Chain A
Amino acid sequence: MLYELKNIKRYYNGRCALSINHLAIEGGQIYALVGPNGSGKTTLLRILAFLDEPTMGEVFYNGSLVAPKMMPFLRREVTMLLQDSRLLTRKVKDNVAYGLKLRGMDPLSMKHRVNEALEMVGLSPKEFANRKWYELSGGEAQRVALASRLVLRPKVLLLDEPTANVDAVSESLINDAVVRAKEEWKTTIIVVSHNLLWLYSVADEVLTLWGGRIIQQGPENIIPGPWKKLETGLYCKTLRDGQKIFVSGEPSESKVISISPSEILLASHGEKSSARNVLRGFVTQMTYHNGDQVRVHVSVGDITLVAFLTKDAVMDLNLHPGMDIYVIFKASAAKWL
């Protein structure tokens, strides 16, 4: 276990921003933090990045209780890309090399690593290495900021809305680089992102926060709005291919719903069902989950939904990537975040 948080509380000006009884984070996985604004995502990230201490409670890292004086040393292997990350007022290559210099790397290896990190985020070293910090677009600057973290090959990389203010090309490059870090260096990634569809497609675990508490741990299907209220009292979202999703309950401010994968059924035929939602899609990905289950990704319209099936169920359905399938869930299965 990489992190263990016990009875954590973090107060700001008397207000409790975070309250977690217990949280365990395993190494080498991608964790997604989801929840509306003010739900405590950034507060949790800052505590995990050792930038902030909880007001009360204990944080264990690699099995050791973290004391304040250990935090500067731990920040050598845990790094974070802040929501409003800044570039240092120096050249791109010096920005990327900054952390390596602190760690005493020799210049030759450093140059190689800097070039590798720049290429990883889609920036040509030849073109960008000698640029000044103000000679970059917003997306390029964010990619340099990410390269400055990736070059460290960190044990843990925490990302707070890494693609919030960047163009589509930069967003895609940043997302790819993050996944590569996990694959190549077994970096543990903990990420907050507005791009829920990407987040959900790459995350091994999803932590849903609400009012500073973790209300759900596990992969979730996150579906953003817009939602239209129907006369029946249900809310409806029309997907790009014309299919409709119906959910009950009253929308939250975020207008985002989550559906647990355990609430989703898959069927090879769209026969009559008591469930309100029967959607047509196709299988895009199948991976093992916790040994005895299979995680099945199904593309429906412009979203991807995930369901957990037993191995037997997969065999019965003769499930395979590319296969047409029906996704079934009740309107009441959705929770407003």
Chain B
Amino acid sequence: MDYILAGIQEAFVLLLSGDEEVYTAVFATLKVSSMSIFFTLVIGLPTGFLLGYTNFPGKNFVRSVVDALLALPTVVVGLWVYAFISSRGPLGNLNLLFTLPGVAIGEVVLALPIVIALSAQAIEELDLSVKDTLLTLGAAGRKLALDILWEGRYGMLMAAVTAYGRIISEVGVATMLGGNIKWRTRTITTAMAFETNKGQFAMGMALGFILLLIAFIVNGTLSFAKRMRQSR
């Protein structure tokens, strides 16, 4: 028990003293997660909206595939993206392996099904009555589509926050594609795994506190989105 208490104490010292190693990992995490969530949302939200809003032959099949991809193992994503961006892969000349943009690609692949599936579901769950309500008030065409999107905004926010939660806590892709290179691609999660293995318990604890703080913020936002959505 003493070593846990000592670890916690030392963790606070590291955090409050602005330890460079800790904060480099934190900034790397924030940088890569921001990149990942940005591209995930840019691609995922319009795709999810279209999937939920439109009807086309094979829609159910596409939904099933997207839903199946929700359970995509991170190491499988890591492996496939590794194959594409390694020097022998089709994107090898871009030199993305063991860089933060390389990690971001893997995390986008991981988070995209979450954003697509949840935002499509959010639009579908608005059900016909919202569309009919807008129609009866005179909305049509692009305005109708944009207002349905607006009415589904809390569902969309839930999709974004859930995806961010997945990205920020992810370790498999970050390790395989980032390589856990100190001062460069080491993120909170990879650093925690690595430092704990080395016996640097305090460092792991300090990073863990920051990760928990981010998780609380993410969950708080998620709860807000849920409440607003249920208040419809």
A-side residues, CB < 8 A to B, are 49, 51, 72, 75-76, 79-82, 84-86, 88-89, 98-99, 102-103, 133-134, 145, 148-149, 152
Contact = CB atoms under 8 A, between A and B. Distances in A.
Contact of A79 (B138, B150, B151, B231): B138
A152 B137 CA distance: 8
A88 B138 contact: no
Contacts of B138: 75-76, 79, 99, 102-103, 152
Nearest to B133: A86
B133 A82 contact: yes
Contacts of B129: 82, 84-86
Given A84-B129, A85-B133, A75 B140 contact: yes
Interface in B127-180: 129-130, 132-141, 143, 147, 150-151, 153-154
Contact of B136 (A84, A89, A103, A149): A149
A49 B138 CA distance: 11
Contacts of B65: none
A152 to B, nearest CB: 7
A152 B141 CA distance: 20
Contacts of B141: 72
A82 B231 contact: no
Interface residues of B, number: 21
A102 B132 contact: no
Contacts of A80: 132, 136
Contacts of A98: 137
Given A88-B147, A89-B150, A89-B228, 19 more contacts: A51-B135, A51-B136, A79-B136, A80-B136, A82-B136, A84-B129, A85-B129, A85-B133, A86-B129, A86-B133, A88-B151, A89-B151, A89-B153, A89-B231, A89-B232, A102-B137, A102-B139, A133-B231, A152-B138
Contacts of A102: 137-139, 143
Nearest to A145: B133
A53 to B, nearest CB: 13
Contacts of A88: 133-134, 147, 151
Contact of A75 (B135, B150, B151): B135
Contacts of A84: 129
Contacts, number: 56
Nearest to A98: B137
B137 A99 contact: yes
What are the nearest 8 A-B pairs in CB distance?
A: A134-B231, A72-B140, A99-B137, A80-B136, A102-B138, A86-B133, A84-B129, A76-B138
Contacts of B133: 82, 85-86, 88, 145
B71 to A, nearest CB: 31
Nearest to A52: B132
B136 A49 contact: yes
6 contacts: A72-B141, A75-B136, A85-B129, A88-B133, A99-B138, A103-B138
B122 to A, nearest CB: 12
A220 B44 CA distance: 56
A86 B136 CA distance: 11
A133 to B, nearest CB: 7
A19 B139 CA distance: 29
Taking each of A51, A102, A145, A149, which has the highest tally of chain B beta carbons within 10 Å of its own beta carbon?
A102
Contacts of A82: 129, 132-133, 136
Contacts of A79: 136-138
A76 B139 CA distance: 8
B130 A81 contact: no
Contacts of A75: 135-136, 138, 140
A107 to B, nearest CB: 18
Contacts of A72: 140-141
A42 B132 CA distance: 13
B58 to A, nearest CB: 21
B130 A86 contact: yes
Taking each of B130, B137, B143, B228, which has the highest tally of chain A beta carbons within 10 Å of its own beta carbon?
B137
Contacts of B135: 51, 75
Taking each of A49, A72, A86, which has the highest tally of chain B beta carbons within 10 Å of its own beta carbon?
A86
